[in-house]
């Protein structure tokens, strides 16, 4: 790939990422959420109760980010944390009734954002995008440089 093509690709990905994140933030703000919290709610809605370390792995963010999000969502009554029976140092996180209701509202916002994002594209092209993006994401996943050590820093929030 020549530089012009590489530059165009990298710039397009960067701009899409920035705009999508900003648009998502604007859409979830009226729900009282900050970026990243919607992903945590949707993960719990999809999987049921999880240990915070599992949430960190599933969301692709560092454990302190999950801890901060969980504290805020717990304070607002959307999740409940309790000690894991097998390891009292670990916390199990689960949705409350209000969290399940909020997750349903987030799903509506998420559907709208997805439709907005692919507006004007042929349905067949839009259907291919998740697979293409998953492959691209895997291509740039952090590489391990040693036991449990990632080379690339996580910027999740």
Question: Domain locations in the chain?
Answer: 3-138
pLDDT at residue 153 in the model: 43
pLDDT at residue 82 in the model: 93
- Is 3.40.190.10 the CATH number for 3-138? no
Residues 124-134 have pLDDT tens digits of: 999 999 999 99
**Cα separation, 58 vs 93, whole angstroms:** 13
Q: Is 73 within 8 Å of 37 (Cβ atoms)?
A: yes
Which parts of the chain have pLDDT scores under 50? Answer: 146, 148-157
pLDDT at residue 115 in the model: 97
pLDDT at residue 87 in the model: 82
**Cα separation, 134 vs 119, whole angstroms:** 20
This prediction has a pTM of 0.82
pLDDT at residue 156 in the model: 43
């Amino acid at each position: 790939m020549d530089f012009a093509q590489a530059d165009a690709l990298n710039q397009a990905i960067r701009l899409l990422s920035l705009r999508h994140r900003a648009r998502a933030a604007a859409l979830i703000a009226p729900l009282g959420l900050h970026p990243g919290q919607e992903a945590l709610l949707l993960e719990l809605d999809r999987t049921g109760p999880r240990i915070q370390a599992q949430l960190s792995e599933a969301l692709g963010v560092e454990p302190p980010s999950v801890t901060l999000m969980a504290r805020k969502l717990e304070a607002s009554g959307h999740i409940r944390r309790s000690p894991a029976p097998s390891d009292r140092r670990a916390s199990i996180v689960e949705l409350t009734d209000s969290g399940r209701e909020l997750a349903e509202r987030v799903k509506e916002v998420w559907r709208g954002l997805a439709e907005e994002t692919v507006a004007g594209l042929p349905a067949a092209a839009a259907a291919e995008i998740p697979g293409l993006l998953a492959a691209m994401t895997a291509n740039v996943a952090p590489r391990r440089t040693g036991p449990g050590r990632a080379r690339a820093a996580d910027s999740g929030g």
